[in-house]
Each structure stands twice: as C-alpha cells, then as structure tokens.
C-alpha cells in the first residue's frame, strides 16, 4: 500500500504535463550558472529530473523525492535517486556531502522550511551553494484575487502548498542560515522593469542563490 504522502504527490505529478516546469528555461539556466561544472549536486524534490537536465552535464547529480515512479524516470536520465520525505529523516543519504543543493518550488511544500534549511546546511560542503525558486504568494495579482474571494490561480489554489512566502519572508529565512543571498524576480513580459522595482508585488516567482556560512 502506498504511503499517504507519496500517493498525494503521485496524484499531484500526474496532473501536470510530462517534462513540465513553470519558467523552466529561466530557472534551469540560472541554476546552471550558479552551480557550474564538476560539482556534486543534490536536487530536492527532483520529481522526474525535468529541471536537472539543465545542470546534469558535467556534474554528478543526486535527486530525492517522495514519488518513487517519478524517481524511476529521473534515474533514466542518469540521476542517482533516493526516495525521501523531505519533512522526515535524510539518513538514507548516509552522510553524503554536496557542493550544491537545488530547492526548486520546494520550500512552500514543507511543514517546517527552517528545519529543512538546516538540513541543507548540514549536507553542503564548506562554501557550497543553495539555489532554488519559490512562488510569490503575496503578489498584487494574488492579493486581488483573494480579496475577491477567489483562490484559483493563486498559491492557495495548490493544496500541496503548506507555507506561503513573500519576498521578505524568503529573504529573512535565507539570511538566517546562509550568506551572499541573492533573490531575483521572475515575471512574464512586459512587466520585467516594474518587477525589478517592486519584486514583492509584481513577481510571479522568485529565484535565489545563497552560500553556506
């Protein structure tokens, strides 16, 4: 019998097109630029390895996820996979250390993101980098829709989103655990210039990088 949390995410993943990733090129290229080559990389919530293809070449990539079927497809891409509930123990990694950790659309799915950030710190080598992305829960669009009593097309519309982050929430959480924190807005055209001035209101998503202290 499938475990409850695994069955939830299998259903969640089945409702998405194969190889689907919001802002896939923008996020994937950013992650690749921050990770570089010749690195050992841990991809959290890797699903089927859709984003890992951007940083797989020239690196050794491990992927962990709760969905064992998705992990099977990730393994076919050359990713070393382990089934892990990110909210629970990571002992299955057996003390492995990594040069980079990817947390793409992950933190909002966790009960206690700050505990997972501590775990990320634990598995990173000295000077290692964390890169990731997260939905902007408090964008102007989301605020207006929620004011009108509509949660569809907002971050509340996804039942697997447990936590909801603003720009300041993300910035503060990262700066407690990491250094050299950089956060950039992702937004659909033609709102790029406005998003750079008011990322907390306009950005659809945030991409970020930070280094282990």
Residues 142, 139: Cα–Cα separation, whole Å: 5
Cα–Cα–Cα angle for 211, 81, 20, rounded to 5 degrees? 80
How do the pLDDT tens digits run along the chain, 213 residues long? Answer: 347 777 777 667 666 666 778 889 999 999 999 999 999 999 999 999 999 999 999 999 999 999 999 999 999 999 999 999 999 999 999 999 999 999 999 999 999 999 999 999 999 999 999 999 999 999 999 999 999 999 998 988 888 999 999 999 999 999 999 999 999 999 877 666 776 777 788 899 999 999 998
Residues 101, 131: Cα–Cα separation, whole Å: 6
Domain that holds residue 8: 4-212
Say what the pLDDT of residue 18 is: 67
0.85 exceeded by pTM: yes
Say what the pLDDT of residue 10 is: 67
What total number of domains does the chain contain? Answer: 1
Say what the pLDDT of residue 78 is: 96
The domain that contains 141 carries what CATH number?
3.40.50.150
Say what the pLDDT of residue 27 is: 96
CB 35 within 8 A of CB 43: no
Exposure class string for 82-93: b at 16+ Cβ within 10 A, else e: bebebeeebeeb
Nearest to 102 by CA among 21, 5, 27: 27
Say what the pLDDT of residue 5 is: 74
Say what the pLDDT of residue 92 is: 94
């Amino acid at each position: 019998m499938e475990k409850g949390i695994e069955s939830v995410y299998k259903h969640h993943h089945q409702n998405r097109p194969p190889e689907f990733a919001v802002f896939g090129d923008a996020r994937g290229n950013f992650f690749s630029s921050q990770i570089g080559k010749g690195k050992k990389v841990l991809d959290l919530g890797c699903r089927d390895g859709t984003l890992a293809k951007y940083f797989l070449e020239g690196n050794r990539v491990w992927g962990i996820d709760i969905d064992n079927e998705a992990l099977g497809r990730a393994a076919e891409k050359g990713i070393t996979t382990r089934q892990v509930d990110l909210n629970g123990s990571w002992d299955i990694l057996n003390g492995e250390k990594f040069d980079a950790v990817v947390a793409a659309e992950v933190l909002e799915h966790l009960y206690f993101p700050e505990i997972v950030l501590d775990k990320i710190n634990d598995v990173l080598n000295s000077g290692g980098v964390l890169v990731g992305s997260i939905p902007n829960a408090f964008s102007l669009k989301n605020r207006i829709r929620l004011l009108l009593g509509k949660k569809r097309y907002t971050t509340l519309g996804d039942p697997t989103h447990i936590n909801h982050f603003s720009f300041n929430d993300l910035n503060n959480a990262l700066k407690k655990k990491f250094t050299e924190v950089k956060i950039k807005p992702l937004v659909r055209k033609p709102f790029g210039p406005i998003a750079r001035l008011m990322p907390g209101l306009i950005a659809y998503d945030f991409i970020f990088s930070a280094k282990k202290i």
